[in-house]
Amino acid sequence: MKPVFSRCLIGLGALCLGWSAQALDYGDALKSVLEKNKGASAATASPAGSAAGAAASASGAGVGSLTSSEMNAGLKEALSRGAEIAVAQLGQKDGFFGNAAMRIPLPPMLQKGEKTMRAVGMGQQADDLVLSMNRAAEAAVPEAKTLLVGAVKSMTLEDAKGILTGGETAATDFFRRKTEASLTKRFLPIVKATTDKSGLAQQYNSYADMASKFGVSKKGQDTVENYVTRQALDRLYKVVGEQERTIRANPLQAGSDLLKKVFSAVAK
């Protein structure tokens, strides 16, 4: 390890990273739900009830115009499919590394010293670490599917109402609240097993540990595996959140009659 590289690592600032995202298409996810709801409505609704429902839908009478089954079944189907698509997109080779918007860069401390690293012949080590971090994230993301789908299945009617009437990323916030702690525990050992193969990651972690002893950072907070885990989860939730925001902003473009009805009602 070159002394000049050592100096550029110790005492550098806290981790930060802007998010990028890609939208997911929830529209097709609800086609089957829409057909089921239509069949159930035709079999059970009275003529007066059908007329009232149609009028409410046409006038955009707000969340009160939605039945419990429309809110609950619709959101569960949409969120389940959205979670599966997000995991499938990111949890494959190049899901992170091959996508410039999703790729996880060097930790901020190393970014600040990257020019020096390359000047002293450590450019290949930096590149190898970036690749290993992104491969680690790709390997960890499939672990999210079970927990995300499980969170949707446990969603109550009150949860559904809160998501519909909440902010533009209320569904994503629900996912994060229900799954982040458990996913962090699942991701960490997978990420560590991959990043530990990088000599630069080990060197970085030793400096992070030294920094914690001097009170510059909390112990374990700035290790490579913690950094990659946070970045991977941020991107996973972001992928889901971008489409949610799009649907809320443009419900008539949602691609599903049920989604149009549900989110148009919320918009009113």
pLDDT, tens only, 23-33: 333 334 333 43
Using a pLDDT cut of 70, give the percent of the chain over it: 65
The tens digit of pLDDT for each residue in 215-243 reads 544 554 579 999 999 999 999 999 888 77
What are the C-alpha distances in Å from 218 to residues 9, 37, 108, 192, 211? 16, 52, 16, 18, 8
Confidence of residue 56 (pLDDT cuts 50, 70, 90): very low
The tens digit of pLDDT for each residue in 132-184 reads 999 999 999 999 999 999 998 899 888 988 888 887 888 889 999 999 999 99
255: left (phi over 0), alpha (psi -120 to 50) or beta: left
Confidence of residue 54 (pLDDT cuts 50, 70, 90): very low
| Amino acid code (one letter) for 226 | N
DSSP letter at 135?
Answer: H
Residue 3 predicted with pLDDT over 60: no
Cβ atoms 138, 95 nearer than 8 A: yes
What b/e sequence results for 171-201 when a residue is b if at least 16 CB atoms lie within 10 Å of its CB, and e otherwise?
A: bbbbbbebbbeebeebbbebbbebbeebebb
Kindly report the number of other CB atoms within 10 A of residue 252's CB atom: 10
3-state secondary structure 154-184: CCCHHHHHHHHHCCCCHHHHHHHHHHHHHHH
Cβ atoms 136, 195 nearer than 8 A: yes
- Determine the Cα–Cα distance for residues 187 and 142; give it in Å rounded to an integer: 10
- Determine the Cα–Cα distance for residues 183 and 146; give it in Å rounded to an integer: 10
Kindly report the number of other CB atoms within 10 A of residue 157's CB atom: 12
Mean pLDDT score of the chain, rounded to an integer? 74
Residue 206 predicted with pLDDT over 60: yes
**Mean pLDDT value of segment 24-45:** 39
Q: Which single residue is written with the structure tokens 């950094």?
A: 227
Q: Sort 41 into a burial class: Cβ within 10 Å, 0-12 / 13-18 / 19+.
A: middle
What b/e sequence results for 80-119 when a residue is b if at least 16 CB atoms lie within 10 Å of its CB, and e otherwise?
A: bbbbbbbbebbbeeebbbeeeebbbebbebbeebeeebee
| Amino acid code (one letter) for 129 | L
Question: Which pTM does this prediction carry?
Answer: 0.70
Token duo for residue 192: 């560590």
